[in-house]
Structure 1
Amino acid sequence: MTKRIFRSILTVTLTVLVASLVLIVGVLHGYFQDRVLEELARSTAYIARGVEENGMAYLNDDLPKSSRITWVASDGTVLYDNWEDEASMGNHADREEVQEALMLGRGSASRYSDTLSQKTVYYALRLSDGSVLRTSDTNYSVWMMVLQALQPVALMMVLAFCLALWLAGRVARQLVEPINAIDPSAPSEDVYEELSPLLTKIRSQNRQIQRQLLDLQQRREEFTAITENMSEGLLVIDQETRILSYNSAALRLLGAKAPVEEGESVLTLDREAGFRRCVEEALAGRRCEELLERDDDCRRVMANPVEQEGKLAGAVLIVLDVTEKEQRDRLRREFTANVSHELKTPLTSILGTAEILENGMVKPGDVAHFAGNIHREAQRLIGLVNDIIKLSRLDEGGPAAQWESVDLYGQARSILDQLSTAAEKKQVTMTLSGTSACVRGVPQIVEEILYNLCDNAVAYNRPGGTVSVTVEDTAEGARVTVADSGIGIPPEAQNRVFERFYRVDKSHPSGGTGLGLSIVKHGAAYLGAQVTLHSEPGKGSTFVLQFPKYVP
């Protein structure tokens, strides 16, 4: 803007200077041309007086040749010319100034002279005998006078031009500085009165922009609050796969870091083929769904195209954590397979023994042995079914029983009494120590948890071993510790002993169903308790059951 103002002021100044110069030249030219005519009139009158008194003799005298002198008869014949040979000159009756002099007594003209090849000013005066005396001078002399007078004018013009340059720059800066100093966010009214409508409009627009920004910020905060509290990952991308919006759940589920640069490609977050396929399909206008499996985690990615005014604008990606669902499905499949296998084993044994008895292939003395085998397998089958029912109830939310206060010490003493016969057979010594500690829970579930822990401690012990049960009432809550001096559990198997049907050594003579510790884990979770395990192969295992603090 400063340059435009500067150029405008300078252009106006130059235009005025050029116009002034043209006007001055025109005025000077007219003025000096009039002066030339006046000089020619005086000279002509002076020479005419001499010619009338002395005739041709006066003209032949040494007159100055600075001006051309021509004597023309009344019929136009050239009688004398001090610059040219009069005999070679044509008739001058048609000359404008001659005709005017013959008619009016004097005349003047200005024209291009063929003889002199330049523009000439003429003045003619009629003599008493009817002849015409004409003097002339070239226009060159007029311009010489103009140029002589123009030199000081040109100097003043140059000085005026320099002054105009300085003033134009100064005025432009002074005009623009207050405008440049205007703060768009809070424009002041003390600038120019002409700018008041503009400043009023800017203030109105500022208020409108502020309202829109506040509204946009509020909506953005609401959107961020919603998306950040989502457990599902959300990604919004454009046609070029650039990330427009995302929430922290998406980064967490994809195991990615926040985009370093604005507009970074979504493909930098996850380079798996399934994820890339989802993005490509969505940007092609087709819905896509893929399952991403990484280590023990499972993520389901659903991509949907987004259209705007009938054109594809981008895509929305939803990332779901389906690890638990997939694990449940896998556990369900494993559970079904294991149940089928575990049920098949005793049923096959019972069926085989029954067929032998039915076919009469057993001696009368061995019937009791085979019947005992059927009884044992039937008991094992019933125990397995009971354990499966217990786990199913725990998966469904536990048995329909009321919660009440349970004394862990008394419960543990009752369970040790139940297992005393089995312990004597294994030559295992069981001890109970500690104090009374009450918890809030379902007595049936508490009993099943403690029974399975103590039963395993006896079953997987060695002859002459010990089982120590300790009940404590700590500041964190009631605690039950079941320690044995049995075979122990290898480190690589300690994370799996709580799985259903998992047995460290399936050939062990105690041969349980593999559901005992799974019942312990699910029962403890139902009661809000925690189970921890510490075991060393050959030295024994210690299970700690920590209950939450109970205030009667």
Structure 2
Amino acid sequence: MSKMSNKLSSRISLPLYFSLAVFVIFLITVMITGLLFYLANVFGLLNEEISQDGTLLPVMTLIACTIIGTSISAVTSRKMVKSIRMFIEATDRLAKGDFSMRLQLKSPPEFKILSENFNRMAEELGGIEILRTDFINNFSHEFKTPIVSIKGFAEVLKHDDLSKEERDEYLDIVIEESARLASLASNVLELSKIAAQTILTNKVRFNVGEQIRQSVLLLAAKLEKKNMLLNVNVQDYNISGNKELLNQVWLNLLDNVIKFTPDNGLIEVDMKQNENTIVILFRDNGSGISPEGLPKIFDKFYQQDTSHSTAGNGLGLAIVNQIIHLHEGTIACSSTPSQGTTFTITIPDGL
């Protein structure tokens, strides 16, 4: 009820503001005109002939009211015109890329709302510009590093005095860096595609527990290679969503915990059902994430391992985050250094 009254008051406040302004201008005009004619009559400026003339006096009154009313309107409208000019100047600066511009209009109420919406828009555009700049810088760095590496080793491979072992080692590095470039390009395209989606398409109802078990089987070779202990506790719960996109989520998260868990480590996958939601946990006993790095874990190109000794380009968790939000779910990460990391996904079951 209060929202409706506020909305109604905001709708009628500007017309009321203008109506009141017109009434005040009219009232002041009439009062000043009447006062001038009264003084003119007192000081004998209006003779009896003019007073009895049925045409001249109304014309004089009309001219006086027009001049006085126009003068008062010009003075009182300066504030309104000033506010509009401030808004035009602010939009002009915003269009030129100055996202620090803010408006502080207080009245009438509609101008205050306009000011608040403008400031919110400028803040959002400023945030988007920062993200765009960071994305370009990070992408350029990630893209340049393997290219420089490939170029360097390709030049070394031109030497005829290399042994077979050295040549094979350098070729393996070139192949690895080429695969890294291909993975980076694929992930950037995938992230751009998902980020551009606003409506979830190709929704089906499927068994998410079975999908997670299949994801575990796909990564079984990596688990065996590091001799890891896996504890999977998932049930056959059905959810509505894009099956292909959610499959990327489970594969990315599993691959991530495997990557950052040492040999002979423990990985746990747990699932439980709450009211209208499914909660899925991926937990490891690896090295964990530093408190400084935890807030950045879902940022594009962020990598906990700054030495880049582990495979990856920092886009996997950003993709996971976008997909979960597209499904109107949430993902959170908690971690304790030297003890492990837990990813908690809460997703509506779609019922």
Which residue does 1:224 correspond to in 2? 10
1:361: Cα distance to partner? 5.0
Q: Deviations over 1:86-124 (max 9, x none)?
A: xxxxxxxxxxxxxxxxxxxxxxxxxxxxxxxxxxxxxxx
Which residue does 1:341 correspond to in 2? 141
Change (3 A) 1:351 1:283: same
- For 1:181-220, list aligned pairs within 5 A: none
Matched, 1:421 2:221: yes
Change (3 A) 1:504 1:227: farther
Which residue does 1:10 correspond to in 2? none
Matched, 1:407 2:193: no
Whole-angstrom distance in 1 between the partners of 2:268 and 2:179: 28
Change (3 A) 1:222 1:427: same
* Greater share of residues in helix: 2
Whole-angstrom distance in 2 between the partners of 1:227 and 1:379: 63
Which residue does 1:323 correspond to in 2? 123
Whole-angstrom distance in 2 between the partners of 1:396 and 1:449: 18
Task: Structure 2: give runs of 5+ residues left out of the alignment.
Answer: 15-20, 22-78
Change (3 A) 1:367 1:532: same
- 2:247 aligns with one of 429, 433, 447: 447
Which residue does 2:72 correspond to in 1? none
Which structure has the bigger radius of gyration? 1
Q: CA RMSD in A?
A: 3.5
Which residue does 1:88 correspond to in 2? none
Which residue does 1:27 correspond to in 2? none
Change (3 A) 1:389 1:222: same
Helix, strand or coil at the partner of 1:430: strand
Q: Deviations over 1:328-350 (max 9, x none)?
A: 22111111111111011111111
Q: Deviations over 1:367-391 (max 9, x none)?
A: 2222211111111111111111111
Whole-angstrom distance in 2 between the partners of 1:387 and 1:348: 20
1:412: Cα distance to partner? 1.1
Which residue does 2:347 correspond to in 1? 547
Quick one: which amino acid aligns to residue 289 of structure 1?
A: A
Which residue does 1:464 correspond to in 2? 264
Which residue does 1:301 correspond to in 2? 102
Matched, 1:372 2:172: yes
Whole-angstrom distance in 2 between the partners of 1:400 and 1:528: 10
Count of residues paired in the alignment: 271
Change (3 A) 1:227 1:358: farther
Moved more, 414-423 or 504-513: 504-513
Which residue does 1:33 correspond to in 2? none
* Greater share of residues in strand: 1
Which residue does 2:188 correspond to in 1? 388
1:473: Cα distance to partner? 2.8
Matched, 1:497 2:297: yes
Indicate if the aligned counterparts of 1:282 and 1:288 stay in contact, CA closer than 8 A: no
Relative contact order: is structure 1 or structure 2 higher (C-alpha 8 Å, sep ≥ 6)? 2
Moved more, 330-339 or 420-429: 420-429
Whole-angstrom distance in 2 between the partners of 1:346 and 1:327: 29
Whole-angstrom distance in 2 between the partners of 1:409 and 1:303: 53
Quick one: which amino acid aligns to residue 119 of structure 2?
A: L
Whole-angstrom distance in 2 between the partners of 1:226 and 1:331: 40
Q: Deviations over 1:281-308 (max 9, x none)?
A: 947966432889xxxxx7743589x9xx
Quick one: which amino acid aligns to residue 169 of structure 2?
A: H
Which residue does 2:313 correspond to in 1? 513
Matched, 1:530 2:316: no
Percentage of identical aligned residues = 24
Which residue does 1:360 correspond to in 2? 160
Change (3 A) 1:399 1:413: farther
Change (3 A) 1:361 1:468: same
1:400: Cα distance to partner? 8.6
Indicate if the aligned counterparts of 1:477 and 1:549 stay in contact, CA closer than 8 A: yes
Change (3 A) 1:531 1:359: same
TM-score by length of 1: 0.44
Helix, strand or coil at the partner of 1:463: coil
